[in-house]
Structure 1
Amino acid sequence: MLDWTVSVFLTEQGWNTDWLMGCLPLHVVQKIHCIFAGFNHTEADSCIWKLTSNGEFSVKTAYLSLFTEETNYTWNWDIIWKLQVPPKIKTFLWLLIHGKLLTNVQRVRRNLASNSNCPCCNGSMESLDHLFRRCSHAAKMWNSIGIPNQVAHSFSMDFKDWLFTNIKASFSCMQGIPWSSLFLVALWFCWKWRCKKVFDLNFSPPPWPHIPIIHFSREWLVANRSRNSKLPKHVLKLHWSPPCVGWFKINVDGSCMGELGAISAGGIIRNDAGVWVKGFVTKLGCGSILEAELWGVFRGLLLTWNESIRRIQMECDSLTAVSLINGETGTNHPLSSIIHCCKDLLLRDWECTIYHIYREQNSAADHMAHLGQNSSLGFHVIDLPPPIVNLLANDSSRGTTARLVPV
């Protein structure tokens, strides 16, 4: 067994799950199983650049990686990007979290300066914690603003816990301004005033620092509400549509659940009358939602071909997956093997196209993908419809679902 190679565990249909389960722990098998390998036209392994989403090297990511502090802290970036602050403050926050703000401590570390003292109080080393919390100028700013009781305890936490607690705060304070927004604007002004002090020794922060901070926060809040209120909205009545006469349609979808990222995919083939022809589910192990969506596309195309269907329309609600397959994708993309195998399937001797649709038009495939979560590892063809008769009937009767979209 010690002399076995990876090819021993591969078949023409992918991984030999039984053999893997007999040799490795389940959590390892789940990580291996979602790796696309063993199929025709699978590309050879190669080195890619892990710091970009497409695997291509960029000078920017290489440069930034040199100055990123090692941290085990996990940030919820969805929360951060949805904060009600200007883009420049979100960028500032990104730099702050990654330790890229050039405080004097950082400048000394990079041999850009010889003095690490704070330029505002000249009393302690200018670390991020000192600059934004411990410095007398920062303390004056926070006292001027007034710390709400809900987050007062956070000022005794370590620096990153303090940041996270205030960023995720969901309450509003003075004049209806969300505390998370006011907090970030205060940090930004603190940094702005510090930089002015560095370049102008005669500069002094305003005696009442809360005034410009609240004014800026309020102006942005009002402007943002005004902009959003003027966006015209349109209600779309969405429903599944059968294919053209003589054609078949396959709807596919992926699913990703839980902290470990358990992924699965599923799909349904129907004829031009909306009648069930065949379905599939596949449990893939652990991975990303994009991997699940691409596996759904690949398995759906392969199943349709093997069923001798030669006029097929495929629909998928993942715009990213559809764009990668229909567009140009480099060989360095982390998922290039499965993407290019999907492209090869589309080029076979048949009439086959793939389109993006809204998820409201893909409810039956979504249900199949979730069924895959409860199946055993591997690919399973389903000949008879599972208990989703109501969804199939709703699709066949052109039942609509409303979706509000910007015009």
Structure 2
Amino acid sequence: MHILHAFGFIPLCPSKKLKLIRWIPPICDFSLNVDGACKGNPGKCGGGRCIRDSQGHVQVAFAHFYGVGTNMLAEIGALCDALRLAYTLGYRLSIIYSDSQVLVNSICEEKATSWHSYEWWRDAKHIVSRESISLSDVYRETNQVADSLANYAVNSRQNDVFWGAQNLPYPCKGLVVIDKSSLMHVRMV
């Protein structure tokens, strides 16, 4: 900016700053990354979720195709299904990461976003409250594994469960390595 000013140029856009961010593993128990994807709104939608331990090892990941719906239907469906499966499989979650601020605020403020997804929202809210799970809104860059799984579900139009990182779809494997090694992502803010 100083160089531009020295030549007499004054940009009309605000200057952006770089922020370094990374995926943060849970201190104890397990973390859940969850995301929904929708191709069109409404359109084909799916959900992706990934349960990891405090070392960043993938325990289990899920990809679920929901058919035609909205982006919020995909987000809340992915969260509800992930909580049900984690509970059924015996994983004690300490934190849930989602890049949907609307979803996180909806659960924290106890306000459903839509009557279409109310049943899923109610079940998710009940499990989060009962189990005392923290819910955190994160940047998209730190939720790429769940995002990749959600897109996989939409593209494959099927439901899959992946046990461990070695069984994940190819696009997810590198993202898990980046998260596990604590490499930083650069974000413009």
Q: Could you tell me the TM-score, scaled by structure 1's length?
A: 0.40
Aligned to 2:138: 357
Preserved CA contact (<8 Å) 2:57 2:164: no
Q: How has the CA–CA distance of structure 1 residues 311 and 251 changed in structure 2, closer, same or farther, with 3 Å as cutoff?
A: closer
Letter in 1 for 2:62: F
Among candidates 56, 59, 68, match of residue 277 of structure 1: 59
1:395 alignment counterpart: 179
**Cα separation, 2, equivalents of 1:357 and 1:273:** 19
Q: Is 2:41–2:71's contact at 8 Å kept on the other side of the alignment?
A: no
Question: Deviations along 1:67-87, whole A, 9 cap, x unmatched?
Answer: xxxxxxxxxxxxxxxxxxxxx
Looking at secondary structure, tell me which structure has more helix per residue.
1
Q: How does 1:372-387 map to 2 (within 5 A)?
A: 372-377=153-158, 379-385=159-165, 386=168, 387=170
The one-letter amino acid paired with 1:389 is K
| CA distance in structure 2 between the partners assigned to 1:343 and 1:274 by the alignment | 26
Deviations 1:105-130 (A, max 9, x none): xxxxxxxxxxxxxxxxxxxxxxxxxx
Q: Specify the alignment match of 2:23 in structure 1.
A: 240
The one-letter code sitting in structure 1 at the alignment partner of 2:43 is G
Q: Secondary structure at the match of 1:297?
A: helix
Q: Structure 1 pair 293/260, CA: closer, same or farther in 2 (3 Å)?
A: closer
Quote the Cα distance in structure 2 between the aligned partners of 1:288 and 1:330.
14
Matched letter for residue 237 of structure 1: L
Quote the RMSD (CA, aligned, Å).
2.3
- Listed as ranges, the gaps of 5+ residues in structure 2 are 1-9
Alignment of 1:102-141 (within 5 A): none
The residue number in structure 1 matching 2:123 is 341
- Matching of residues 158-237 of structure 1 within 5 Å: 229=13, 231-237=14-20
Match of 1:305 in 2: 87
Q: Is contact 1:255-1:263 (8 Å) kept? A: yes
| Partner SS state of residue 73, structure 2 | helix
Alpha-carbon offset, residue 402 of structure 1: 1.2
Do 1:310 and 1:351's aligned partners in 2 also have CA atoms closer than 8 Å?
no
Which residue does 1:323 correspond to in 2? 105
Q: Quote the Cα distance in structure 2 between the aligned partners of 1:234 and 1:277.
A: 36
What are the ranges of 5 or more consecutive residues in structure 1 without an aligned counterpart? 1-225
CA distance in 1, matches of 2:114, 2:70: 18
Contact 2:106/2:112 (<8 A) preserved:
no
Structure with the largest fraction of strand: 2
Rounded to whole Å, the distance in 1 between the matches of 2:141 and 2:151 is 15
Contact persistence 1:263–1:284 (CA under 8 A): yes
Corresponding residue pairs, total: 176
Once the 2 structures are TM-superposed, how far is the Cα of residue 238 of structure 1 from its aligned partner? 1.4
Measured after TM superposition, the shift of residue 233 of structure 1 is 2.8
Identify if the C-alpha distance between structure 1 residues 228 and 346 changes in structure 2 by more than 3 Å, giving closer, same or farther.
Answer: farther
Residues of 1 paired with 2:157 and 2:60: CA distance?
A: 19
How far is 1:301 from its partner?
A: 1.1
C-alpha displacement of 1:339: 1.5
Paired with 1:331 and 1:289, the residues of 2 have a C-alpha distance of 11
Percent identical among aligned pairs is 27
User: What CA distance in whole angstroms lies between the structure 1 residues aligned with 2:113 and 2:58?
Assistant: 37
Q: Which amino acid aligns with 1:400?
A: M
**Which gives a bigger RCO, structure 1 or 2 (Cα 8 Å, sep 6+)?**
2
**C-alpha distance in 1, partners of 2:43/2:114?**
23
Q: Counterparts of 2:181 and 2:105 in 1: how far apart (Å)? A: 30
Say whether the 8 Å CA contact 1:329–1:336 is kept in structure 2.
no
Amino acid in structure 2 at the alignment position of 1:364: V
**Alpha carbons of 1:332 and 1:249: their partners in 2 closer, same or farther (altered >3 Å)?**
closer
Larger radius of gyration: 1
Q: Which residue of 1 aligns with 2:7?
A: none
**Given that residues 36 and 45 in structure 2 are in contact (C-alpha distance below 8 angstroms), is that contact kept between their aligned partners in structure 1?**
yes
Q: Offset at 1:311?
A: 3.7
